[in-house]
Amino acid sequence: MRGSRSASGRSATGPTASRDGRASDGSSGAADSRPEGRLIDTPPPGSEAPGASPRRLPEYVLREPRGTYHALNPTTKLVIAFAEAAIAFGVRGWTGPISVLVVLAITAFAAGVARRMVPFALATIPLVISILLVNTLLYPGAHDVIVRLGPLAPTWSGLTAALQATLRVVAFALSAAILGLTTPTDDLLSDLERRGLGRRGTFVIGSAIRMVPRMGERASEITDSQRARGMDTQGGVLRRVRGVIPLAGPMIFGALTEVEEQTMALEARAFSAPARRTVIRVLPDSGTQRVVRWVLFVGAIAAVAAEVSGRLRLP
């Protein structure tokens, strides 16, 4: 039990609360002598307890990040990821994706998240395989056949294009992975909010991200329910198409009712109050980082623009 618990501030718009008589260590002085008051009782002037320490955020809310890369401002890390993705995709040939991959590898080791990036790299395998197959075998207008295997005719230009596309996809996935692994979503959102992203924007992005696991849970409950009623989830195309409605119906209905409930619950928590929302975690930023962000942002766009206009001639 903390020490003094006397009433303190009052809100700008609503009733003010006093909470007294809870202190058991005698440090709250005058406040102790008053009976338990009603919630909306206004505290008498000067009831502020002597020696009350300024109230601070607990450690687990402050969550000081550890490590240099982790401690970068979330928006800086967002801009880095953006620049990496832009260059990987925007700068054609080998230079774009390979240089980004080199940077990514260095950052991953420096930030100590290299090992945790492996699953993300593995997750791109299905896409990588399909890109390789489709491009190598079906590259339009290519005639430099590597080897003829019956009806199949893989080409060198197809293979080159496929490898480059693959590297781009992997680079993109890994740049997003580094951002995700070093930056809690909530930090990124609260930083963006501080920079002026509105509370609704912040909420929509934040709840969408957090909804994913809940959607998965709901989907598996629905599948269980329908399978328990004998629905066969395997079988031919027609069967599967018909199986979509029993799965999608409850998904949509559930989402709609939950949105309604959640909207009311948000209103009940003053979500539409006109005041500017308090930012409780101010994440460190610096002049250097601001410069780096602008340089990266402008640089990436300039590189892509130069590439698109054909002025950049890189391998």
Partner 1 sequence: MSIEAARRGIALALESVVFVYPDGTRALDGVDLRIAAGERVAIVGQNGSGKSTLVRQLNGLLRPTEGRVLVDGQDVARMHVAQLAARVGLAFQNPDRQIFAGRVRAEVAFGPRNLGHAGADVERAVDEALEAVGLAGTAEANPYDLGYSRRKLLAIASILAMRTPVVILDEPTTGQDARGATRVRAIIERLSDEGRTVITISHDMRFVAETSRRVVVMRAGRIALDGTPAEVFAEPNWPALASTYLEPTLPARVGARLGLAGTATERALVEAIAAARASDPARRRV
Partner 2 sequence: MTLRLAGARYRYAGTPRVVLDGIDLDVAPGRVVGLVGANESGKSTLCLVASGLAPGSIGGRLEGSVTMDGVETVTLAPHEHAQRCGVLFQNPTTQLSGTAVTVWEEVAFGPRNLGLAVPEIVERVEWALDTLGIAPLAPKDPARLSGGQAQLVALAAVLALRPAYLVLDEPTSQLDPRGTRLVGEALAGLAAETGTGILVAEHKTELLAAMAQDVAALDAGRVALLGPAADVLADPRLVDLGVEPPAAVRLARALEAAGLADPRLLAAVEQAAAGGDDGPVEAAGVSDRPGVGQGRA
Burial class (CB in 10 A: 0-12, 13-18, 19+), 309: exposed
| Closest separation in Å from C-beta 102 to partner 2 | 33
Stretch in the footprint of partner 2 (CB under 8 A) among 15-23, 79-87, 96-104, 125-133: 15-23
Shorter beta-carbon distance to partner 2: residue 57 or 122: 57
Does 22 contact partner 2 by CB under 8 A? yes
Among 25, 144, 232, 267, binds partner 1 (CB under 8 A): 232
| Closest separation in Å from C-beta 110 to partner 2 | 25
Does 224 contact partner 1 by CB under 8 A? yes
Shorter beta-carbon distance to partner 2: residue 147 or 212: 212
DSSP 42: P
Does 66 contact partner 2 by CB under 8 A? no
Does 200 contact partner 2 by CB under 8 A? no
Please check whether residue 25 is in contact with residue 31, taking contact to mean a CB–CB distance below 8 angstroms: no
Among 211, 215, 291, 314, binds partner 2 (CB under 8 A): 211
Does 222 contact partner 1 by CB under 8 A? yes
Does 263 contact partner 1 by CB under 8 A? no
Subset of 165-184 contacting partner 2 (CB under 8 A): 184
**177-202: buried (b, 16+ CB within 10 Å) or exposed (e) per residue?**
bbbbbbbeeebbbbbbbbeeeeeeeb
Please check whether residue 26 is in contact with residue 49, taking contact to mean a CB–CB distance below 8 angstroms: no
Does 269 contact partner 2 by CB under 8 A? yes
CA quadruple 259, 260, 263, 268: dihedral sign = negative
Among 24, 257, 263, 286, binds partner 1 (CB under 8 A): 257
How far apart are alpha carbons 258 and 30 in whole angstroms? 47
Shorter beta-carbon distance to partner 1: residue 25 or 224: 224
The two three-digit tokens of residue 144, written as one number: 């430099």
Closest by CA to 7, choosing from 58, 25, 28, is 28
| Closest separation in Å from C-beta 235 to partner 1 | 10
Please check whether residue 199 is in contact with residue 290, taking contact to mean a CB–CB distance below 8 angstroms: no
Question: Residues for the chain: how many in total?
Answer: 315
β-partners of residue 102 are none
Shorter beta-carbon distance to partner 2: residue 144 or 217: 217
How far apart are alpha carbons 257 and 271 in whole angstroms? 19
Please check whether residue 50 is in contact with residue 37, taking contact to mean a CB–CB distance below 8 angstroms: no
For residue 25, the one-letter residue type is D
Please check whether residue 78 is in contact with residue 298, taking contact to mean a CB–CB distance below 8 angstroms: no
Does 231 contact partner 1 by CB under 8 A? yes
Binding site for partner 2 (CB under 8 A): 1-2, 5, 8-9, 11-17, 19, 22, 36-40, 54-58, 60-61, 63, 184, 186, 189, 199, 202-203, 206-207, 210-211, 213-214, 217, 221, 258, 261-280
Binding site for partner 1 (CB under 8 A): 218, 221-222, 224-232, 245-250, 253-254, 257
